[in-house]
Amino acid sequence: MTRHLPSIGSLRAFEATSRHLSFTRAAVELSLTQTAISHRIKELEGLLMVQLFNRMQNGISLTEEGRAYLESVRPAIAQIASATDIISSVRENRLNITCLSAFATTCLIPALTDFRTRHSDIVLRLTPSTATGRPDIRDFDVAIWHGPDDWPGFDSMRLTVEESFPVCAPSLFEGRRPLLRPSDLAHYPVLRTVSPIILDEWPAWLQHVGFPSAEFGQEIYCEGLYFSIEAARAGLGVGMVRSSLMKEDLANGRLVEPFGVRLPSDSAYYAVSRPEKSKLLRVKLFTSWLLSYFGS
């Protein structure tokens, strides 16, 4: 028996209504009337021959069938939307940038006003990425990634020279013994950055300063460097950071460097693009600006 596929309009109406649990809010989001949303939902229910929503006097909720259908179709809707957006970006001169959160919030976003002043015709789209992401399976024009200079199949440009070292907020010293040597960390909470693929640099730094067996009094585990930096800023503990992310915090005294000893790193932040994207004018302009602004 031939099966008819639902229309994109009915699927978008279903997804938006499921997210808001409101026909009215879905209508506002999609610039439709509430009647149109309701009609599209009924059309989808008729095609599926199941009820997707429980309609109650004080609101709506997904049925079990509706919840199961949403879990199945939402990834497909997102993939179609993403593919459409990528193709549209060529016509719109849109630059799709994916960037690790710590670098994005500390370095890139504050600097983008300068890029926008120079190239106001380029439409920017920023997407956060995680340390566990793989650049070869993401759709982007330029990725700002951290690691060694090992990006097979991509054009890459080094942006920073990195050193790792401990920092903390000045308020952390209040009521505690001075933090003069690594052994004093036994009396301080220490922030540990955890990730499935990124190694915490505390052991390497301790080895570098000659205290391979130093013990921490307390440990707070943060998923990703961004959380570790924010925790250090909040005075929660002593965190291990990267030099390129700390210039402003150290300059304004928000964070201090208690030991003054840094560990040189073989890794750095890189601008990474596929070869076919590297040839685009908007990519050339952006990577040239990145190098002039952040380049070491």
Q: For residues 162-176, give the mean pLDDT.
A: 94
The pLDDT of residue 188: 93
pLDDT, tens digit (0-9, with 9 covering 90-100), for 244-257: 999 999 999 999 99
Q: For residues 13-30, give the mean pLDDT.
A: 92
Note whether 225 and 102 are within 8 A (CB): yes
d(CA 279, CA 98): 18
The pLDDT of residue 198: 65
pLDDT, tens digit (0-9, with 9 covering 90-100), for 22-31: 999 999 999 9
pLDDT averaged over every residue in the chain: 89
Residues 6+ apart with CB under 8 A from 178: 184
Q: For residues 117-129, give the mean pLDDT.
A: 92
Note whether 187 and 216 are within 8 A (CB): no
> At 1, is the pLDDT very low, low, confident or very high (cuts 50, 70, 90)?
very low
Domains, the chain, ordered by start: 8-89 (1.10.10.10), 95-155+269-288 (3.40.190.10), 163-264 (3.40.190.10)
Q: What kind and span of H or E run contains 95?
A: strand 94-100
CA angle, residues 253, 204, 207, in degrees to nearest 5: 100
Does the pTM of the predicted model rise above 0.85? no
The pLDDT of residue 266: 87
